[in-house]
Amino acid sequence: MKNTKSMKLAVAALAVALFTAQPASAAVSLTGAGATFPIPLLDVCKVGWATASGNSFTYGAGGSGAGRSASDKGIGDINFSDTPHTAATRLTTVIHIPVVAAPIAVMYKLPNSQILNLSPATVAGIFGGTIKKWNDPAIVADNNRTTTTVVYKKDKDGNVVKVDGVAVVLKTLVTKTKYFLPDHKITVVYRSDSSGTSGNFTNFLRGMAPTVWTKAGNNDFKTSFPGNINDSANLGRIVGASGSAAVTALAGKSMYTITYAEKNYAVAAGLKPANIKNAAGNYQAPDAGGTSTFLGAATADANGILTFDYATKEAGAYPLGIVSYALVDTKAKNATEVKSFLNYLLSPTCPTTKPELEFTTITGSLYALDVKQIAKITG
């Protein structure tokens, strides 16, 4: 997904104008609900937007399912879902705007400071219950080998440097790794609520390891699980929790656990994010550069829904990069303020406020798509 520099400058200028040109007396309180994935970014950016516009945004979590339900009922101004809302209940005037982008991390707790390398087939085996111990030959093979990793250039503030919407590669590292893996059972923690994070995660497993993860991706992890999750062998070893904060907190309480969530939850929970093998054969960290590169290979339909290319051979692609869709009614009653906040989320000011969260700045043709979608909101 690429775009010309002149177009980038034009749409950037339009975005700034849209979110700053607010009359001082027009204070509006926007609301929304849904996916937990964008919460860290929303919490940071709604403060800056309030300062710039004089308006406010209040967001309630509940998972992507809650965001889709609120959208169906016409509740709230901007709801979020990490997977497309294609059900028949969706209002025909509601559009998808992929304004938030970041990586899902596979994160774990082991008594070792090294970073794990995991292939999609190995991840599928772990979460599908066929790989039960940390010293399983598949995990050993992923971590006792020569690996290649692409490292992206960052500026002095820690933000990934991009040229014409493309993340700039700083260097490529070739490393020989050796990892001592314990003879201990793996405890898997999954999202028990209807979650777009689960939907994206299981779509990745199905897309990159179809012979291991044999069922279609689903927002309900248990529905997508390739075997019988209630089998006696899985009881106490594969456990669920509701919401990203809860799954990471649960995983962080005990050693030898593994889960999936937005990367920014890892540090608070004392978990480490694994490097994931992409289709080019490289093991990439869940960072903004790899996410941007992966999303750059996606295609979009007229409704703003992306189709990810798990087979992309982009050397630095992190294959668990995802977007969170703003579900917005084109006939929104607070159309001006809704457009203002969405454009603020898209502006570099938003994700670069806290680059350590690893939310990526949306650029190139994906940015142009978002601007086109936002323009459809007329009230």
Q: Which two structure tokens, joined as six digits, stand for 85?
A: 């809302």
The answer to whether residues 290 and 316 touch, using CB atoms and an 8 Å cutoff, is yes
Q: Which residues contact 153 (CB under 8 A, 6 or more apart)?
A: 160, 161, 167, 168, 169, 170
Locate tokens 């490292």: which residue?
151
Helix (H, G, I), strand (E, B) or coil at 300: strand
Residue 259, strand partner residues: 107
- What confidence tens digit (pLDDT) does each residue in 342-376 have? 999 999 999 988 888 889 888 888 899 999 999 99
Would you place residue 10 in the very low, low, confident or very high pLDDT band (cuts 50, 70, 90)? very low
Question: At residue 130, does pLDDT exceed 80?
Answer: yes
- Looking at domain 5-102+290-307+321-374, its CATH class is alpha beta
Identify the pLDDT of residue 5: 42
The answer to whether residues 142 and 117 touch, using CB atoms and an 8 Å cutoff, is yes
Of the chain, the percentage scoring pLDDT greater than 90 comes to 70
Q: Which residues contact 69 (CB under 8 A, 6 or more apart)?
A: none
Identify the pLDDT of residue 160: 85
Mean pLDDT for the stretch of residues 289-310: 92
Domain(s) of CATH 3.40.190.10: residues in the chain: 5-102+290-307+321-374, 104-287
Q: 107-116, 119-128, 146-155: lowest mean pLDDT where?
A: 146-155
Q: 22-26, 31-35, 117-121: lowest mean pLDDT where?
A: 22-26
- What confidence tens digit (pLDDT) does each residue in 178-235 have? 899 999 999 999 999 989 999 999 999 999 999 999 999 999 999 999 999 999 999 9
Q: Does CATH place domain 104-287 in 3.40.190.10?
A: yes
Dump the DSSP string for 216-233.
Answer: ---SSHHHH-SS-TTSTT
The answer to whether residues 1 and 298 touch, using CB atoms and an 8 Å cutoff, is yes
